[in-house]
């Protein structure tokens, strides 16, 4: 990590399990599933409500912001949770409830690190607001910055009341993702970029994403293997050697987070410690 970014963000990364591999099995995060809607269509995405699958986009329920605050009060009383995140199951910024939740959380528990993930479409619009709400870190998922590649990954976007498809859609998305990274970083948020590695689609392109997002102010990247689902259910999941060689290439440009195991939108507890990691489906639903 370059010195300037490293020292600027040290107070966050020290205690954040998703930005500091050493903390991934020591401190916890709690995701609140307050954001069900999404404004784009990624071809690998299948959101679902169930108690079984252990992957992003899955939750056992959708919570209202007030219930989410109660849940956070409960889990922070139980264990060492340092970060509270909104990670869907849809796009955090496409749901008003995300803002309401963070506003309430800042009043209720001002010392917790506030985090969220987004596809970045609305990040230029909301980066200032997130900073005002005291959100500390954001993960933006960017799977291509070349429109010709992105067209294979996204089917459509819904933006400012209109549906866009094909080249027009991905050009808007890419521009907003990169401008959003820059604006969030300029506003003092720690920005991590997630890229889903899709063999045969963007595997040779991830390093170009790294170069661009590093320039735009991202502090770190997390390269995730495709989970073949949805329209991409017949594609191969990348093998370990492909993952490793691309992570090594990217690491020449920007720090790479390697401890991620792709958790659920309702996960809470210590992500790197199986016995202390939970999700909402494991507790009685009547509570919510
Ligand atoms: Fe699914 Fe996330 Fe893509 Fe939306 S942005 S379609 S929730 S993977
Ligand atoms: Fe970690 Fe992403 Fe959740 Fe933030 S939103 S706590 S970076 S998994
Ligand atoms: Fe974040 Fe991945 Fe860890 Fe979950 S497993 S807390 S998504 S870094």
Sequential DSSP letters for 119-134: -STTHHHHHHHHHHTT
Domain 3-281 carries which CATH code? 3.20.20.70
* H-assigned helices in the chain: 3-8, 10-13, 65-78, 96-108, 123-132, 147-150, 166-186, 206-216, 240-251
**Where residue 239 falls among pLDDT bands split at 50, 70, 90?**
very high
CB of 198 shorter than 6 A to ligand 2: no
**Where residue 144 falls among pLDDT bands split at 50, 70, 90?**
very high
Residue 118 has a pLDDT of 97
Average pLDDT rounded to a whole number, residues 220-234: 93
**Residue 180 CA to ligand 1 centre (angstroms):** 17
Percent of residues, the chain, with pLDDT higher than 90 = 69
Question: Is the pLDDT assigned to residue 287 strictly greater than 50?
Answer: no
**Where residue 286 falls among pLDDT bands split at 50, 70, 90?**
very low
**Where residue 8 falls among pLDDT bands split at 50, 70, 90?**
low
Q: What are phi and psi of 139, to 5 degrees?
A: -110, 125
Closest CA to 56 of 84, 88, 21, 100: 88
Q: Exposed (0-12), middle (13-18) or buried (19+): which is 243, by Cβ within 10 Å? A: middle
Ligand nearest to the CA of 113: 2
**Residue 119 CA to ligand 2 centre (angstroms):** 13
Average pLDDT rounded to a whole number, residues 241-266: 91
Q: What is the mean pLDDT of the chain?
A: 90
**Where residue 5 falls among pLDDT bands split at 50, 70, 90?**
low
DSSP H helix total and E strand total for the chain: 9, 13
Residue 267 has a pLDDT of 86
Question: Is the pLDDT assigned to residue 1 strictly greater than 60?
Answer: no
**Mean pLDDT lowest for which of 1-5, 62-66, 77-81?**
1-5
Residue 71 has a pLDDT of 92
Residues contacting ligand 3 via CB (< 6 Å): 17-18, 24, 29, 260-263, 271
Mutate to test the pocket of ligand 2, among 86, 117, 218, 263 (most ligand atoms within 8 A of CB): 117
Closest CA to 137 of 208, 194, 97, 176: 194
Q: How far apart are CA 87 and CA 36, in angstroms?
A: 10
Q: For atom 1 of ligand 2, which residue has the closest CA?
A: 18
Residue 154 has a pLDDT of 97
Q: For atom 8 of ligand 1, which residue has the closest CA?
A: 45
Q: How far apart are CA 181 and CA 61, in angstroms?
A: 30
Q: For atom 8 of ligand 2, which residue has the closest CA?
A: 18
Question: Is the pLDDT assigned to residue 120 strictly greater than 90?
Answer: yes
Q: For atom 3 of ligand 1, which residue has the closest CA?
A: 42
Q: How far apart are CA 123 and CA 186, in angstroms?
A: 12
As a residue count, the chain comes to 288
Residue 284 has a pLDDT of 45
Question: Is the pLDDT assigned to residue 149 strictly greater than 90?
Answer: yes
**Closest ligand 3 atom to Cα of 259:** 8
Residue 118: in which H helix or E strand, if any? strand 113-118
Between residues 123 and 28, the one the model is more confident about:
123
**Closest ligand 1 atom to Cα of 57:** 7
Question: Is the pLDDT assigned to residue 186 strictly greater than 50?
Answer: yes
**Residue 139 CA to ligand 2 centre (angstroms):** 7
Work out the angle at residue 267's Cα, subtended by the Cα atoms of residues 266 and 268, and round it to the nearest 5 degrees: 120
């Amino acid at each position: 990590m370059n010195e300037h970014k490293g020292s600027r963000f040290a107070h966050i990364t020290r205690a954040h399990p998703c930005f500091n591999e050493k903390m991934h099995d020591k401190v916890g995060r709690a995701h609140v599933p307050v954001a069900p809607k999404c404004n784009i269509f990624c071809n690998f995405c299948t959101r679902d409500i169930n108690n079984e699958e252990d992957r992003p986009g899955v939750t056992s329920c959708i919570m209202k912001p007030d219930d989410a605050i109660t849940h956070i009060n409960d889990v922070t009383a139980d264990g060492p949770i340092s970060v509270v995140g909104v990670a869907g199951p849809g796009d955090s910024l496409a749901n008003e409830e995300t803002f309401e939740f963070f506003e309430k959380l800042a009043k209720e528990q001002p010392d917790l690190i506030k985090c969220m993930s987004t596809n970045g479409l609305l990040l230029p619009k909301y980066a200032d607001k997130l900073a005002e709400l005291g959100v500390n870190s954001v993960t933006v998922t960017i799977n291509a910055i070349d429109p010709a590649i992105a067209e294979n990954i996204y089917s459509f976007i819904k933006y400012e009341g209109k549906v866009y498809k094909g080249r027009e859609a991905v050009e808007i998305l890419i521009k907003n993702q990169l401008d959003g990274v820059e604006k969030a970083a300029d506003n003092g948020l720690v920005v991590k970029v997630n890229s889903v590695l899709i063999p045969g689609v963007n595997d040779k392109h991830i390093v170009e994403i790294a170069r661009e997002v590093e320039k735009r102010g991202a502090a770190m990247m997390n390269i995730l293997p495709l989970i073949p689902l949805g329209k991409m259910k017949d594609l191969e999941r990348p093998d370990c050697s492909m993952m490793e060689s691309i992570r090594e290439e990217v690491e020449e440009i920007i720090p790479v987070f390697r401890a991620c195991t792709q958790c659920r939108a309702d996960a809470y507890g210590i992500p790197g410690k199986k016995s202390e990691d939970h999700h909402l489906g494991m507790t009685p639903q009547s509570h919510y």
